[in-house]
């Protein structure tokens, strides 16, 4: 077995990405501190043709060298926008019939493996601050809270890992 070269991967160009049909998923980052986490979310979003990323509150915006270090150019392909207030954004998205899915540990949360995305619906996946998680007012305003099952001693996953796990799962379910 031979590893493939990048030139053999048949990836889209940035222009091709911009015109490609997008996956009906929006990523909302609620006050993310780490620039490396932000860049990693951009890269994951590029990999799965995510519609848009909203960078909320203190979440830094491109261009920034520490975002670029992990984004590897995906800030040029993925559409993004900054929103000062996450809750205001959530209310606006709900008015546009976007289903709001907070990724958090909460009462009555649906385990990711049991979550079924609604067909013909755009889903906004909300990921929270590295220490505080998704803000309570945003959790309360969400249509559903999704929890990633975990079995070890730690209470959470890194936000960039959580994003990769959840986006892959929802993408796979939408594609089937």
Spell out the per-residue pLDDT of the chain, length 176, in tens: 999 999 999 999 999 999 999 999 999 999 999 999 999 999 999 999 999 999 999 999 999 999 999 999 999 999 999 999 999 999 999 999 999 999 999 999 999 999 999 999 999 999 999 999 999 999 999 999 999 999 999 999 999 999 999 999 999 999 98
Tokens of 109: 């949360």
Q: pTM score > 0.95 for this model?
A: yes
Task: Please name the fold of domain 18-148+155-175.
Answer: Alpha/beta knot (3.40.1280)
CA distances from 173 to 25, 92, 168 (A): 12, 26, 9
Provide the edge-to-edge strand list for the sheet that holds 80-83. Answer: 80-83, 50-56, 23-30, 123-128, 99-103, 144-147, 110-111
Positive or negative, the CA dihedral 15, 44, 104, 108 is positive
Question: 30: which residues sit within 8 A by CB, 6+ positions away?
Answer: 56, 57, 59, 86, 126, 127, 128, 129, 134, 135, 138
Distance of CA 34 to the CA centre of its chain: 15
CA distances from 111 to 64, 148, 150 (A): 35, 6, 10
Rg (CA), the chain: 16
Instruction: Report pLDDT for 45.
Output: 98
CA separation for the pair 67, 42 (Å, rounded): 9
């Amino acid at each position: 077995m031979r590893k493939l070269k990048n030139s053999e991967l048949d990836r889209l160009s940035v222009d091709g990405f911009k015109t490609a049909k997008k996956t009906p998923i929006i990523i909302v980052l609620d006050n993310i501190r780490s620039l490396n986490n932000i860049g990693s979310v951009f890269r994951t979003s590029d990999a799965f043709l995510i519609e848009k990323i909203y960078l909320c509150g203190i979440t830094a915006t491109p261009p920034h060298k520490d975002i670029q270090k992990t984004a590897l150019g995906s800030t040029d392909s993925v559409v993004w926008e900054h929103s000062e207030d996450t809750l205001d954004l959530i209310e606006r998205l709900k008015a546009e019939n976007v289903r709001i899915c907070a990724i958090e540990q909460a009462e009555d949360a649906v385990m990711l493996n049991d979550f079924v995305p609604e067909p013909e619906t755009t889903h906004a996946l909300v990921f929270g601050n590295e220490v505080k998680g998704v803000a309570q007012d945003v959790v309360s305003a969400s249509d559903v809270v999704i929890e990633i099952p975990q079995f070890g001693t730690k209470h959470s996953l890194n936000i960039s890992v959580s994003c990769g796990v959840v986006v892959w799962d929802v993408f796979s379910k939408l594609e089937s």
